[in-house]
Structure 1
């Protein structure tokens, strides 16, 4: 495919996403319906679509035009690339600019408001506390690996990955993480990944788990386990004298965990019944609650455009409910660990402060904010115990 044809395909896909379709689904549908496109074409189109989603408002501001077509015209302006080399109507490329579009592009633009510079909805601006790193949500998130130190050393993992053309470097955040430099497409086919020696996991997420004071014996529950990334990270820290349990309300999400645990030679008890309806107790209960995901919007940029104020309020109510219900699962002397991948205080500190205020027998024993940065996605952790 020519660069113009890639832009034309990206415009069609982005229009559907803007209309409300999930990004991953539309990219998959397009790939299946266009078998002629090679892997490099698919990767290029994916990169174009995700870059546009990360920079939706600022690109539209630069072009002065609405819709996916206007956004991609704005992208070319932002990159200082010639518009008519892409928008020229040749082959399968998008049509050239109309007089109205050209006038919009040529018109002098006002300064970008804060929310446009940050590429976020207006209503969220105050929740960012006016962060002034305007580029933080605009770039691709780094790719990190978690090395299972029970199966391989960090240096051995680096050497083995290099044999497959995968260059990595250590992370300053946590001693289990490797940052991938360059080639990433081979990771899922690499023998270390296939045999559970490494997993894909953000360094910040790994560092969050490393903050936990895991028991030497007893039982650990990952209540909102999802695909099991944190579950497996916890498994790498505990001894065989600790039993590990995982639950998720959406049981289909645990299917991935079952396969990943087998690959990593880890024993995880997958629970079908909601533990909060039982009398079972655990020495450590981890609740990685459903949240806005604002700390990981670089990875899922369509999520920031779909989040509404009502949806955020509903999430906060659910977070409070989960925190309250799971506190009853903690054994005497045990720990409750509350986690999010959010950078909003209303989902983090405010939730914990409200819980402690309403539950006088609980106290905060530790908390950690991992700010959204070049080193990590944004995360929050608070650990609590009974007084």
Structure 2
């Protein structure tokens, strides 16, 4: 009998499974691959300053000091390379922006995230950045497909990985825990994004899909850092550039769309003067939550059924920290943050 059946091997399932194994638990990861997995198509950015108003993202002071050291350690453990700490450059829209950040760089709460304030535009970037911009520290991207592949290889070596569709009807309660397809487990953790809504256990969660598209393109000169304002321009290891993303709350299918591509191109023109040759468009659906916070913890009624989900577009930043917190919860009953605990939505289950 294994300790945990983990359903899903996106970024959440991969990192959580690694942490649990590291703490001496036994796991079985059940994955059902899809071209529309948000993890497989996501750009993988981690960015401490977000939004049009350029403010620190939620919980940045907790998440970001932990983030790069975690991924570097994970690279060493998996024998892989997927962390790209190349920073992010965010142009200012006005002199007011520039002045605001001049003041913020003397504030202790912002200092760790500021690499440099540029008072003038950077000519080599070929941007509309006449007011200069902010070069962020503790920022970059993670090559999520490479991380997933390396973790999958590790799980296979541990005889802890299956590639198959999860059928909730086949999950049976036993005296000792659960049986699924002839195998016994003490507990079950749902890390399967929006598919969790297709189960009786967590179908009541206030989650929905948000579609996002990313363009793959070529340009004459790749920047050495990520450019981000309205859209991101991300240089890759393969002489191509990724440009995105958009957010579609209403969508008819999971395929890339001409409308979505044009929306990104319109924003790109406002950021960059460079010419781009569009090679491809990819699309994925993110699991977004009602309050834009992850959903982590124990089912309100059934013992040993858990959820680790709802990380949305900021999974690269959120998952390492909260996987550690959730592992401590499972191992030592350490408390979860109220802001991420699934208990905040228990009333939705009670009202069923």
TM-score tier (shorter):
under 0.3
**Which structure has more strand as a fraction of its residues?**
2
Q: Which has the higher contact order (CA 8 A, sep 6+)?
A: 2
TM-score after normalising by structure 1: 0.23
TM-score when scaled to structure 2? Answer: 0.25
